[in-house]
Amino acid sequence: MSLFSKKKTQVIKFEQNLCNADVNDNQVLFVRVSDMVDDKEAILEVPFTHNALLIKGGGDCRLYKSGTYPVFDDKNEIKNWKKGISVEVIYIPKETSVKIEWGTPNKVMYRDKTSNKVIEIGANGVFGISVCNPEQFFRKVVGFRKEFDLREFSRRFTEAVTDEFADHFLNVVNADALTYDQFDANRKVIARKVGKELSDKFAHSWGLELVDFIISEFQISKEDMARVESFAEEKAKEEKLKEYLAELERLDDKQWEREKYLRQLEQHNKEAYYEVMKVIGKDSTRGNGVGQFCSACGHSYESTDKFCPGCGRKVGQVSNVCPSCGKENALGAAFCSGCGKKL
């Protein structure tokens, strides 16, 4: 037999793929090659850009890195080989250029640490992916699919990532004790930590790592921000009020300095002054002798006044006379203590 009549060795390679994908197209995460091997010396070619899973006879599955390998790699396989065996090769790129945009379809319910109010937070961004476990990637993503569909894969994988985002986001911001107004300033840190947790999870379940996980922005409604800010303002006012009252208590036996302090407070911060006067007014109704000020608005009034000149509320030692029996009752009484008639 001449050399020219010698049968050519069968070669299974990337160019035989079903979808005619280019070897340099890193947006195609797998390429499937199917063939019937009728040569016991058949070889498998794996380009330097890819790894490959070789499935023989619908059963045995092995991972190969770049290089050239015999399809039948031991004597038993060659012995059992008859006139043909079906093989499939799944080529998986070592580096990918798939970028996936993501966004939370449902808002994350976050309880603000300062105000203890629940606010709704949305987020969006982009991430890349890398195949880190080809066998798991084959089981989860490839399966019986003949061709890779980037749109269908992106939709499916994005849904899985966003379903997990809320728990990992809350883990990170709670561990770092971040309030909602610190999210933007710490966006890169939050994204790095959340991305690491998500990557670890999907490396195990999908065989995919998340690369360069980015949070582009957070979305918080103006109404939620207003509720939290309003609480913060009220909290700050309460703290200042405590300071003012503490100073008045310190000056309790120094009447002139006490009055001077109140005059200065009235000149520089009328709102705070009236808040202080409200508290003092409530104290005066208990007979502490600290002055006559309306407990509702903090405005001062004379001992002969029946109504506050600031808000019109009843003040002073005004009796509540029963129109039925003439009995004098306390100002806040709802029923007459003499005849029981409703006042």
What is the SS3 string spanning 73-87?
Answer: CCHHHHHHCCCCEEE
238 vs 128, which has greater pLDDT?
128
**Residue 304 exposed, middle or buried by CB count within 10 Å (0-12, 13-18, 19+):** exposed
Q: Stretch 133-149: mean pLDDT, rounded?
A: 93
In degrees, rounded to 5, the angle at the alpha carbon of residue 301 between the alpha carbons of residues 298 and 302 is 160
Residues 84 and 190 reside in one and the same domain: no
Residues 85 and 104 reside in one and the same domain: no
Residues 217 and 128 reside in one and the same domain: yes
Residues 193 and 294 reside in one and the same domain: no
Q: For the whole model, what pTM was predicted?
A: 0.66
Residues 86 and 104 reside in one and the same domain: no
Give the domain-ending residue among 225, 244, 269. 225
Residues 243 and 154 reside in one and the same domain: no
48 vs 251, which has greater pLDDT?
48
Residue 323 in any domain: the answer is no
Which tens digit of pLDDT belongs to each residue from 14-59?
988 777 788 889 899 999 998 888 788 889 999 999 999 999 876 7
179 vs 63, which has greater pLDDT?
63
Q: How many CB atoms lie within 10 A of CB 4?
A: 5
CATH of the domain at 209: 3.30.479.30
Which residues touch 342 (CB under 8 Å, ≥6 apart)? 334, 335, 336
Residue 320 in any domain: the answer is no
Which residues touch 249 (CB under 8 Å, ≥6 apart)? none
For the cut 50, the answer to whether the pLDDT of residue 290 exceeds it is: no
Least confident range of 149-153, 154-158, 175-179, 276-280:
276-280
Q: Please state, in angstroms and rounded to a whole number, the distance separating the CA atoms of residues 118 and 172.
A: 17
Q: Stretch 253-281: mean pLDDT, rounded?
A: 80
Q: Which pLDDT does position 27 carry in this prediction? A: 93
Q: Which pLDDT does position 308 carry in this prediction? A: 78
Kindly write down the DSSP assignment for every residue of 115-183, as one continuous string: T--EEEEEEEEEEEEEES-HHHHIIIIITT-SS--HHHHHHHHHHHHHHHHHHHHHHHHHHTT--GGGT
Residue 2 in any domain: the answer is no
Q: Which domain holds residue 295?
A: 234-312
Q: How many domains is the chain built from? A: 3
Q: Stretch 165-183: mean pLDDT, rounded?
A: 92
**Structural contact between residues 134 and 207, judged by C-beta atoms closer than 8 angstroms:** yes
Burial 57-86 (b: 16+ CB within 10 A, else e): eeeeeeebeeeebebbeeeebeeebeeebe
160 vs 23, which has greater pLDDT?
160
Tokens at residue 289, please?
């002798």
Q: What percent of the chain has pLDDT over 70?
A: 86
For the cut 80, the answer to whether the pLDDT of residue 254 exceeds it is: no
For the cut 70, the answer to whether the pLDDT of residue 286 exceeds it is: no
**Structural contact between residues 88 and 202, judged by C-beta atoms closer than 8 angstroms:** no
Residue 239 in any domain: the answer is yes
* Mean per-residue pLDDT of the chain: 84
Residues 200 and 109 reside in one and the same domain: yes
Residues 121 and 186 reside in one and the same domain: yes
Residues 87 and 104 reside in one and the same domain: no
